[in-house]
Chain A
Amino acid sequence: MDWSILQQYGPGLLSGFGNTILCWFLGTIFSMALGLVIALVQRYGSRWVGRIIQVYIEIIRGTPFLVQLFVLYYGGPLVGLRLDALPAGLLGLTIYGSPYFAEIFRSGFRAVSVGQIEAARAIGMSEPSIVRRILLPLGLVSSLPALVNFSIILTKETVILSIITVPELMYQVQRMSTETFRYLEANLVLALFFWALVETISNVGRWLEARVTKHLIERT
């Protein structure tokens, strides 16, 4: 085993790391936002809109992320959607993640007791302010563990972006290993890196969860 190669390819790896974090962070934020919109539309929109959204959810959840990326990146130009690899990857992550986040939010909203919302209506709160002051805060707290969990899954999905040539960490590592023939070392380091990253995110998630639910535990 020869680890000195890592120094030589440092800058490339560093930029790959930056892109991985960027893809993960923006991908999570965008797909969470889209998921929230979907969940709210499903809750308050008409039945037909809800059905169309349900079909969207089934399609995205029933197909592999890789195939979705292929449709978007290689098939997109045929219908006039020309994107560079990185924006295509981000759009792909957003589309891929949104139905999962929507389902998480939906069950989070369902966990908000009906009594709270009825009480809010009874004291004359408007529907938007019920969403803003009752549904969102309570629903978000109960869906926090699942949100953290899915954002961890998204971390791992970012490596698939390397297949459509997004220059993230996996892509850089593959490039490095084809130039140096150090496939095993490179991939092992990558594996350890992701292990550490996922453990870190899940620890932060646990800490966040403990903080946000502190008031619930103290009172019961």
Chain B
Amino acid sequence: MFSISVFLESFGPLFWAARYTLLISVLGIGLGLVIGTLVCAARLSPYAWLRRSAMLWVSFLRGVPLLVQLLVFYYTLPVIGLDVPAMVAAVVTVGICASAYISEIWRGAIAALPRGQAEAAIAIGMTPRDIWTRVILPQAFNLSLPALINELILLVKASSLVSVVGILEITRASQAQAATTFRPLEVYIAAACIYLAINLCLAVLGRYLEHRTAI
């Protein structure tokens, strides 16, 4: 039956592993923001070939399961002669996958801004660069904050998949713990509790930001 003491004891190693879950998710969303911004810029660019390749990028990354992307990327690296630690490969894959979703979040946020904003900026003679950096992007960022937090929640959950390539985050640590204690039920429920705690905190943050940015 369910043993409370095993359940409580498994929190120790899992908390330690939670740092890696958080690290992968936060670095992943950081990288995703950088690439996603570039992809979004490509989608809004005047050149058709850029727009088309950005669309292909988004469609591919959203159409292929993350687990498959992870393995493709993991096995491609040695072929092209790159020898990076599994951790780097995992963060890069998670970041690339997130970039597709983040570019769509950006696109939606930019489309949601009233056209009058950009037109007014043109009318008072701002340069295109100023229009983007001072008018459109800051507002789009505020608008997209709740969606970005949501994406981070998705990444925390998706990061459980990098356990497959051997990174000791919560899921991998709980597998090891379950193997040594022979109590998978308690250990995996403990892992679920940690994920739930992280995601509930993020959800509260998201709700706060949504409330704050609501006009």
Contact = CB atoms under 8 A, between A and B. Distances in A.
Interface of A: 58-59, 61-68, 70-71, 74-76, 78-79, 156-160, 162-163, 170, 183-184, 187-188, 190-191, 194-199
B68 A187 contact: yes
B184 A187 contact: no
Contacts of B62: 198
Given A63-B195, A159-B67, A199-B59, 7 more contacts: A62-B153, A63-B192, A71-B184, A71-B188, A78-B184, A190-B68, A195-B64
A140 B82 CA distance: 50
Interface of B: 1-2, 59-60, 62-69, 71-72, 75-76, 79, 153, 156-161, 163-164, 170-171, 174-175, 178, 183-186, 188-189, 191-192, 195-196, 199-200, 203
A78 B181 CA distance: 13
Contacts of B1: 78-79
B188 A67 contact: yes
B191 to A, nearest CB: 5
Chain A contact residues, majority secondary structure: helix
Given A184-B72, A191-B72, A198-B62, A75 B189 contact: yes
Contacts of B183: 78
A195 B160 contact: no
Contacts of B153: 62
Contact of A74 (B76, B79, B164, B184): B184
Contacts of B171: 64, 66-67, 70
A220 B136 CA distance: 33
Nearest to B184: A74
A59 B160 CA distance: 16
A75 B183 CA distance: 8
Contacts of B195: 62-64, 67
